[in-house]
């Protein structure tokens, strides 16, 4: 079977309402390699939905010509819960309204499978991967999910836990293309960054908060470290990454077509699609530690005036923005400068122009860890 549409109902949380997760599958179930791609887990981050629509157009043609060599699972609307949250005419899709939880945090910790597989692993790497994947699925099947949010998280992981490639499509507020991935998955993922034209790659083993991509990558990294060379579990058994498709306003047909073409090249190079893909046109950006990202914050309340565009390189001490008080006297009083603490690419900045003290207003990908960047490295 080259293409099928699957529908998974979510638990009903209110009388007379129901939601479902719609999944598009290409290729034969169980074929290898398997690629899983989802979009808009943060439901107000919409560029990925358009990218996966464009990717479906290409995969429909590839399926019709028999070129789907592996299995591809697409979830263009990964969060129907958040997609329905409209308050006062404004879509609020990053946090669940009922609990206040970030939709891309608190995914189940899959580390419990280590004890379950310990007695079954041997010297064969690929056999061990199969054992781990089966254990992951069994573990997820056994999780109690009393509400819609926990059921959605379990379902997304159940669809992806046996994937060779798992890509979570997001975007930032105002940003250039960039991605997050595990430190043990680099430089294996360098061609993905190059195919998509990323300006920054942020690496971490554990970023804090249990996001979707790390539920997969961090689990394999932990198993690899725990069982070592005698019972090898490859840390890169699942190349899992979060792709940040520029900014929230970049719902654009030309950009989506370009990104879909890049994904097809990547999937072809990885053998999921039959054929030959050209080598990336460039080596892509150097990877930097997520702990080296300077989250530039407003020092005071006021209006934000950005001085640096996304994708530009900055130097330590450079003014990237200023905070202006419209009530200041005299009226031409200079604003408060906001400085970068590191050198690197300013890859994202806030769309909000009214700043509160301590509010993040920009992010710079620096080459070295910063002393205060420990623990939870993601902005909730």
| 338-358 pLDDT per residue, tens | 999 999 999 999 999 999 999
| 229-255 pLDDT per residue, tens | 999 999 999 999 999 999 999 999 999
| 129-144 pLDDT per residue, tens | 999 999 999 999 999 9
Please give the structure tokens belonging to residue 231. 């019972």
- Complete DSSP assignment for 83-149: HT-EETTEE--SB-TTT--BTTS-PPPGGGHHHHHTTT--S-HHHHHHHHHHHHHHHHHT----SHH
Q: Which residues contact 140 (CB under 8 A, 6 or more apart)?
A: 108, 110, 154, 157, 158, 161
For tokens 């932990």, name the residue.
222
Q: Angle CA(51)–CA(108)–CA(102) in degrees, nearest 5?
A: 55
> What confidence tier does 2 reach under pLDDT thresholds 50, 70, 90?
confident
| Helix (H) / strand (E) containing 61 | helix 47-64
Q: What is the mean pLDDT of residues 202-219?
A: 96
Please give the structure tokens belonging to residue 279. 């080598």
| 142-198 pLDDT per residue, tens | 999 999 999 999 999 999 999 999 999 999 999 999 999 999 999 999 999 999 999
> ω into residue 117 within 30 of 0, thus cis?
no
| Assigned CATH class of 3-285 | alpha beta
Please give the structure tokens belonging to residue 356. 């509160």
Q: Angle CA(107)–CA(259)–CA(376) in degrees, nearest 5?
A: 30
Report domain extents, the chain: 3-285, 290-365
Please give the structure tokens belonging to residue 300. 């005071």
Burial class of residue 144, CB neighbours in 10 A (0-12, 13-18, 19+): exposed
CATH assignment of 290-365? 2.40.50.100
Evaluate whether 128 touches 231 at the Cβ level (below 8 Å).
yes
* 157/169 Cα distance (integer angstroms): 15
Q: What is the mean pLDDT of residues 6-32?
A: 95
Mean pLDDT of the chain: 97
Q: What is the mean pLDDT of residues 329-333?
A: 91
* 148/248 Cα distance (integer angstroms): 26
Does the pLDDT of residue 296 top 60, yes or no?
yes
For tokens 């490639």, name the residue.
165
- Poorest-pLDDT segment among 70-74, 277-281, 364-368: 277-281
* 154/156 Cα distance (integer angstroms): 6
What is the pLDDT at residue 1?
57
* 311/175 Cα distance (integer angstroms): 8
DSSP-derived letter for residue 280 is: P
Evaluate whether 214 touches 182 at the Cβ level (below 8 Å).
yes
pTM: 0.97
* Residue 335 CA from chain centroid, whole number: 35
Does the pLDDT of residue 368 top 80, yes or no?
yes
Please give the structure tokens belonging to residue 312. 């530009």
- Complete DSSP assignment for 211-269: -HHHHHHHHHHHHHHHHTTTS---TTSSEEEEEEEEETT---HHHHHHHHHHHHHHHHH
Residue 343's alpha-carbon distances to 46, 194, 205, 255, 313, in angstroms, are 30, 21, 23, 28, 7
Does the pLDDT of residue 81 top 90, yes or no?
yes
* 240/266 Cα distance (integer angstroms): 14
* 31/243 Cα distance (integer angstroms): 24
* 60/47 Cα distance (integer angstroms): 20
* Residue 289 CA from chain centroid, whole number: 16
For tokens 């209006």, name the residue.
303
């Amino acid at each position: 079977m080259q293409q099928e549409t699957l529908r998974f109902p979510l638990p009903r949380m209110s009388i007379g309402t129901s939601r479902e997760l719609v999944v598009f599958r290409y290729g034969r179930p169980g074929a290898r390699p398997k690629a899983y791609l989802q979009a808009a887990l943060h439901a107000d981050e919409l560029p990925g939905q358009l990218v996966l629509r464009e990717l479906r157009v290409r995969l429909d043609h590839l399926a019709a010509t028999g070129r789907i060599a592996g299995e591809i699972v697409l979830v263009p609307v990964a969060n129907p819960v958040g997609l329905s949250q409209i308050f006062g005419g404004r879509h609020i899709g990053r946090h669940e309204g009922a609990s206040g939880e970030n939709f891309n945090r608190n995914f189940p910790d899959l580390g419990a499978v280590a004890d379950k597989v310990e007695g079954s692993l041997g010297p064969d790497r690929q056999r061990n991967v199969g054992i781990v994947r089966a254990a992951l699925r069994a573990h997820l099947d056994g999780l109690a999910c009393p509400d819609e949010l926990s059921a959605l998280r379990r379902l997304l992981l159940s669809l992806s836990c046996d994937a060779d490639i798992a890509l979570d499509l997001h975007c930032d507020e105002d940003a250039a293309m960039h991605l997050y991935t595990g430190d043990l998955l680099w430089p294996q993922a360098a061609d993905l960054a190059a195919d998509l034209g990323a300006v920054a790659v942020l690496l971490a083993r554990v970023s804090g908060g249990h996001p979707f991509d790390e539920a997969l990558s961090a689990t394999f990294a932990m198993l690899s470290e725990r069982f070592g060379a005698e019972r090898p579990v490859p840390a890169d058994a699942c190349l899992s990454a979060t792709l940040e498709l520029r900014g929230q306003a970049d719902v654009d047909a030309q950009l989506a077509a370009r990104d879909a073409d890049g994904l097809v090249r990547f999937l072809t190079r990885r053998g999921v699609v039959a054929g030959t893909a050209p080598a990336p046109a460039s080596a892509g950006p150097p990877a930097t530690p997520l702990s080296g990202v300077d989250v530039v914050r407003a020092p005071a309340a006021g209006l934000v005036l950005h001085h640096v565009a996304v994708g530009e390189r900055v130097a330590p001490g450079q003014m990237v923005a200023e905070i202006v008080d419209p009530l200041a006297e005299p009226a031409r009083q200079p604003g408060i400068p906001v400085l970068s603490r590191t050198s690197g690419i300013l890859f994202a900045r806030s769309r909000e122009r009214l700043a509160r003290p301590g509010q993040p207003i920009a992010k710079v990908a620096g080459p070295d860890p910063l002393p205060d960047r420990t623990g939870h490295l993601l902005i909730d």
